[in-house]
Homo-oligomer: A and B are copies of this chain.
Amino acid sequence: MKIVLLGTGNVAVHLGPSLKKAGHRFLQVYGRNERSARSLSKKLDCPFATDLGLLQPKADVYLLAVRDEAIPELLPFLPATEALILHTSGSVPLDVLRNFKNTGVLYPLQTLSIHRKIKISAVPFCLEVNRPALKQRLTKLIKPASSNLHWIDSDQRRILHLAAVFANNFSNHLFSISEDLLNENGMDFGLLKPLILETGKKVQTHSPRDMQTGPARRGDSETIEKHLALLSGHPQYAQLYQLLTESIREMNGPRL
C-alpha cells in the first residue's frame, strides 16, 4: 500500500520503518521540523514535506502519527479522498475523523521512545474502523508487521489508555520514588533492578492480583507504621504509601 506519514515523533519513527520492512511503500513524510522530517524520509526512502499545502494527494493511507492535539489541526489539509485516514492515539475517539469516508485507528500499545529498539512484531495493535468493510484494508496494512491485533472500539480504547497509565506511567513513577529514597540514603538504584524486572516478568504468566505480596497484603501493621515513620520527611510519598496500602487491603483483603 502507498502511505503518506504525518509525524516524525516516537510512534512515526517506530511504525514507519516497520511498515516499510513489511512491504509497504511511502510516498511522503510530513513533519514541522525539517531535520526530523528529512532524517525519517531517508529511512523510508521517500521525499519529505514541511508544508501541509504540499501533501501528496494519491496515497492509499494517510497515517497521522502525531500528538493528540495536532490531529484536528492536520485534518483540513488532507485531500478529499477514498484513502484510509488513520490516527494512532490511545485517547482520541475515531469520531474525530468523521468528515472523511474511510477512517480508522492503529494504536500501538507499547511505550515507544526514539532511543530504544522495540520488536514491533510483539507489540499489540488496537484497531478500529468506521465501516466493517474496512477491516480487511487495515489488516492488510498492519498484519505483515505484527500479528498481535485486537479490534477495540473507541470507548474501550479510552479505558485501555487509562489502564496503561496505571501500568506504565504510574508504576514508572513508583520506581522513581524508590530511586529517590535509595539515592538520598547513599544507595544505588541498581540494587532494585533485578526486583523490578522480575515484577514485570511475573505478571506475564500470573494475574498480578494473585501475586500481590508485601506488608499491606499480609496486614502487617507494625511494618506499615515503621515505613510511614521513615517517610516523615516526604509527606507526598507517605500519603501515596497510605493510599496504596488501603487500596491493596480493599482489593486483596488482609491474609491474616
Contact = CB atoms under 8 A, between A and B. Distances in A.
A215 B67 CA distance: 12
Given A110-B194, A156-B187, A248-B169, A163 B176 contact: no
Copy total for this chain: 2
A96 interface: no
Interface of A: 68, 91, 109-111, 113, 116, 118, 122-124, 126, 148, 150, 152, 155-156, 158-160, 162-182, 185-187, 189-204, 207-209, 211-217, 220, 223, 226-227, 230-231, 236-237, 239-241, 243-244, 246-248, 250-251
B172 A177 contact: no
A179 to B, nearest CB: 6
Contacts of A250: 236
Given A111-B199, A195-B168, A198-B118, A212 B150 contact: no
12 contacts: A68-B220, A109-B195, A110-B194, A160-B187, A163-B177, A168-B199, A169-B215, A169-B248, A170-B248, A173-B212, A175-B203, A236-B247
